[in-house]
């Protein structure tokens, strides 16, 4: 346990630094390298300590997370590729959950598919379905179900479940930010919170998910 203490401590320092920048020096750009470094550290931690099949799954998931954040955070372009990477991440987490909770898996998988289909049909009916929207709806639906399924896993995976819940909170903040871009009148204190809230939730989510990796 002590050998891994460096990881949350270092992440805590980065977290405090970029949150201070977000709060007191927004738009400076200095927060971006700190944020990306914090996600790289999650990947390096899992790469170092992860063992077995679970370790391989988590290494792949954090690897795609690093790639997604490269597109969405650092480059701030190729959003389709970034969201596609996050879709892969959620499919890998689905695989992890299925390895632990195997009962009625075909039914659960079918319900996931129906949820995605319903979301696509609704978006299509509103005339809002394009490639990015389709991927985003797939991603968000899978994240939501992953949260629900992971929170009822046995205790060794509780941190994973809480991490995914914080991941969902981050994405709700992203949604609020995007909503304010389309509808400026929707701005207000909630949107101001969402600007900081994205990473307020996101890094703790990735740290908890990383710490849940099997190490033996």
Give 117-140 pLDDT, tens digit per residue. 999 999 999 998 999 999 999 999
Q: Assess if residue 216 is contained within a domain.
A: no
For residue 110, is it within any domain? yes
Q: Please, which pLDDT band fits residue 10 given cuts at 50, 70 and 90?
A: very high
**101 inside domain:** yes
Whether 204 is in a domain gets the answer: yes
Burial of 93 by CB count in 10 Å (0-12 exposed, 13-18 middle, 19+ buried)?
buried
Tell me, what's the pLDDT at 162?
97
Domain that holds residue 58: 2-211
The secondary structure of the chain in percent helix, strand, coil, rounded to multiples of 5, reads 85, 0, 15
Q: Is residue 185 part of a domain?
A: yes
Is residue 139 a part of any domain in this protein? yes
**pTM of the entire predicted model:** 0.92
Tokens for 215?
A: 């190490």
The answer to whether residue 207 sits within a structural domain is: yes
Rounded Cα–Cα distance for residues 193 and 90 (Å) = 26
Say if 117 falls within a structural domain: yes
As for how many domains the chain has, the answer is 1
Among residues 87, 83, 71, the alpha carbon closest in space to that of 36 is found at 71
The DSSP string of 155-202 is GGGHHHHHHHHHHHHHHHHHHHHHHHHH-GGG-SHHHHHHHHHHHHHH
Q: At what angle do helices 6-24 and 189-211 cross, to 10 degrees?
A: 170
Closest by CA position to 209, among listed 3, 2, 11: 11
Task: Note the pLDDT of residue 84.
Answer: 98
């Amino acid at each position: 346990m002590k050998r891994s203490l460096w990881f949350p401590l270092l992440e805590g320092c980065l977290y405090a630094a970029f949150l201070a920048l977000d709060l007191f020096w927004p738009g400076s750009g200095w927060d971006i390298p700190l944020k990306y470094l914090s996600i790289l550290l999650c990947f390096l931690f899992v790469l170092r300590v992860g063992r077995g099949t679970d370790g391989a799954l988590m290494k792949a998931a954090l690897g795609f997370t690093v790639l997604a954040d490269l597109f969405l955070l650092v480059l701030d372009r190729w959003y389709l590729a970034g969201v596609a990477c996050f879709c892969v991440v959620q499919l890998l987490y689905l695989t992890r959950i299925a390895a632990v909770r195997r009962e009625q898996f075909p039914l659960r998988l079918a319900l996931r598919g129906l949820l995605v289909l319903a979301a696509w049909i609704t978006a299509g009916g509103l005339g809002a379905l394009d490639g990015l929207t389709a991927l985003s709806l797939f991603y968000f639906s899978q994240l939501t179900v992953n949260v629900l399924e992971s929170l009822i896993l046995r205790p060794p995976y509780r941190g994973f479940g809480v991490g995914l819940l914080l991941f969902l909170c981050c994405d709700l903040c992203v949604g609020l930010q995007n909503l304010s871009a389309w509808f400026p009148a929707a701005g207000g204190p909630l949107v101001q919170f969402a600007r900081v809230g994205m990473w307020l939730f996101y890094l703790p989510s990735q740290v908890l998910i990383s710490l849940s990796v099997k190490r033996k």
